[in-house]
Amino acid sequence: MASQSADELKDLGNKAFGEKDYDKAIELYSKAIELNPKNHVFFSNRSASYGGKLEWKLAADDAKECIRLDPSFVKGYYRLATAQIEMEEWDSATATIKQGLNVDNHNPQLMKQLQQLKKKKNSSKRQQQQQQQQQQQQQYKPSQVSTRGMDASVSRELQDLQQQYVQTRREYQTVQANILHAQKEIRSNQITQSELDKLDGSMESKIYRGIGKMFVLSNQEEVKEHLTSAIETGEKREKDLTQKMDYLERRLKSQEQNMEELAKTRPSASE
């Protein structure tokens, strides 16, 4: 049996990739690269396969080699930026996308990716802020404020404030959990959208779309429209929840200050 050519190995790799057998795809693309290490497409395809396994460093390395071999190949910039975004290398990803747009300044895939990068960067910053806020709140416990030696009316007022603080904190934690859930849904829809972009865009291609507990056969454009709408709805919900969380955070800080000030109120000793 004659040995397989590099292009034949690439085609087999494409088939394995389509079946989400990323290990097999990587193996086949690697063999194709051994036969023809100057073919930029082989590196691009292997980069996508590493991305399928969430091995973003390897995906980035192959994308860089793809660009080195053919700087005019726009998909190489898309592959590299995808890996850099997943590794939260925001500045590098921005630079990569801009380099790609210098090659094709109206490329819709890169322009869309640039918008997604900005949203993910902002979302990552919000998550870091939320973690810092949560750590700060965990350090403060209203029960640590003693009512000992206080006037009875002041003591009751402080206890009321403590109850309000606990209630606000529960509400804050609920909103925080809802934000994380919204972010998870947005991310899931973005991943599905990205996978859909890799498919043949033929209107004849049909895909099952989940609606509740049912599945409806839809064409690609219908699914893409649904995903875009779901992402926009999710982002609006995340924004609204974030605004509410900011308000609750300010209220928590105000309640903390009020309790601390009230705790300083002690009856002076009689002379």
**Is 60 exceeded by the pLDDT of residue 201?**
no
pLDDT in tens, 225-235: 888 888 889 88
The answer to whether the CB of 6 falls within 8 A of the CB of 35 is yes
CA distance 116 to 107: 15
Q: Name the pLDDT band for 202 (thresholds 50, 70, 90).
A: very low
CATH number of 6-112: 1.25.40.10
* Tens-digit pLDDT profile for residues 9-66: 999 999 999 888 999 999 999 999 999 999 999 999 999 999 999 999 999 999 999 9
CATH 1.25.40.10 residue ranges of the chain are 6-112
Judge contact between 183 and 210, C-beta under 8 A. no
Range(s) of the chain covered by CATH 1.10.287.370: 140-263
Tens-digit pLDDT profile for residues 108-142: 999 999 988 988 888 777 667 666 666 655 555 55
Minimal CA–CA distance to 35: which of 58, 17, 9, 13? Answer: 9
Q: What is the pTM of this model?
A: 0.57
The CATH number of the structural domain formed by 140-263 is: 1.10.287.370
What average pLDDT does this structure show over 168-182? 88
Question: Rounded to an integer, what distance in angstroms lies between the CA atom of residue 82 and that of residue 237?
Answer: 25
Q: Are the C-beta atoms of 43 and 62 separated by less than 8 Å?
A: yes
Mean pLDDT in residue range 176-200: 76
Q: Which of 3-7, 51-55, 75-79 has the lowest mean pLDDT?
A: 3-7
pLDDT band for 209, please (50, 70, 90 cuts).
Answer: low
Residue given tokens 């200050």 in the structure block: 257
pLDDT at position 262: 78
Grade residue 83 by pLDDT with cuts at 50, 70 and 90: very high
